[in-house]
A and B are shown apart, each in its own frame.
With several copies, the nearest count.
Chain A
Amino acid sequence: MAAQNSQVHLVIGSHFEDIELVQIVVEESLRKLELDDEVAHSISLAVGEAVANAIKHGNRQNPEKRVEIDFGVDDNEVVIEVTDQGRGFDPDNVDDPLVADNLLRPNGRGILFMTNFMDHIDFSFKQEGGTVVTLRKRLPSAAMAPGPSEEN
């Protein structure tokens, strides 16, 4: 992600209470892009779901295991990667929470949230173990990020 004009990298332990910290970083980073509040809120929600899954399913709440969040802005897109140290899973083999039989399940809606709130989501799996969720959202061109600041 070298050509990006904004890049923040954050690493937390596997504590649910740190999800808010991640969301604050995302919201603060989005604030500079002057995105619509609704859009910023939904990106923040999607990231929260990805980090919750990384902690819960990936790292199984082992506090020693880390979750890494890469927040980047390309010319026209916000790209957030969430990486855990878990064993991965088969995204094609996840129950559909919209099927009538599953409607009353207490969980299984996180990926649905992510796909609804982002333009594109993608899972990849590292050779050495670990899931990477990549969340992408195109920016309206009016909300383009300014280039790197040159103030002194």
Chain B
Amino acid sequence: MDIGVRKESGVTILEPKGKITIGVGDIALREKVHNVLDEGEKNILINLAAVTTIDSSGIGELVSGYTTVTNRGGKLKLLHLPPKVQDILQITQLVTVFEVHDDEGEAVSSFG
């Protein structure tokens, strides 16, 4: 899996593409989140617009990422949920956990 990385006003934006599924994108996403934290960044925005499929392992990695970042005093938020991912956050009731944005500018400034 290919995960783009950009920075905007102190927020690291991760842009995974394709599948976040067991053995395919789940580990890549975990490693990327850890890399960003190791570089001292604490504010992570994951843009899911280009994600075509996410399974329970992929969701698990989002949750792990959220927990790890939060424990280190940072924030992990989500941007641009495709309908399939939106459905899955509903099913898993993780909509109550993640802060989700539809607009990148607003998302970035929300980190404050």
**Direct interface between A and B, CB < 8 A:** yes
Which residue numbers of B lie inside 8 Å of A, CB to CB? 21-24, 27, 53, 55-57, 59-61, 63-64, 66-67, 84, 88, 91-94, 96-97
Given the contacts A104-B63, A104-B67, A97 and B27 also touching, CB distance less than 8 Å: no
- The 7 A-B pairs with the shortest beta carbon distances in the complex, nearest first, are A16-B23, A109-B56, A106-B60, A106-B64, A110-B56, A116-B91, A52-B22
CB-defined A-B contacts under 8 Å, sample of 9: A20-B24, A41-B84, A104-B67, A105-B60, A106-B61, A107-B60, A109-B59, A113-B55, A113-B91
Across-interface contacts of B53 in A (CB, < 8 A): 41, 45
Given the contacts A41-B53, A49-B56, A107-B60, A19 and B21 also touching, CB distance less than 8 Å: yes
CA distance A94 to B96 in the complex (A): 22
Across-interface contacts of B66 in A (CB, < 8 A): 104
Task: Output the least CB separation between B41 and chain A (Å).
Answer: 21
Are A103 and B94 touching (Cβ within 8 A)? Answer: yes
Across-interface contacts of B60 in A (CB, < 8 A): 105-107, 109
Which residue numbers of A lie inside 8 Å of B, CB to CB? 16-17, 19-20, 41, 45, 48-49, 52, 97-98, 103-107, 109-110, 112-113, 116, 149, 151
Task: Output the least CB separation between A1 and chain B (Å).
Answer: 23
Are A107 and B97 touching (Cβ within 8 A)? Answer: no
CA distance A113 to B56 in the complex (A): 7
CA distance A47 to B105 in the complex (A): 38
Are A52 and B67 touching (Cβ within 8 A)? Answer: no
Across-interface contacts of A109 in B (CB, < 8 A): 56, 59-60, 92
Q: Which of A45, A52, A104, A109 has the most CB of B within 10 A?
A: A109
Task: Output the least CB separation between A152 and chain B (Å).
Answer: 8
Q: Which of A19, A49, A106, A113 has the most CB of B within 10 A?
A: A106
Across-interface contacts of A98 in B (CB, < 8 A): 92-93
CA distance A112 to B67 in the complex (A): 21
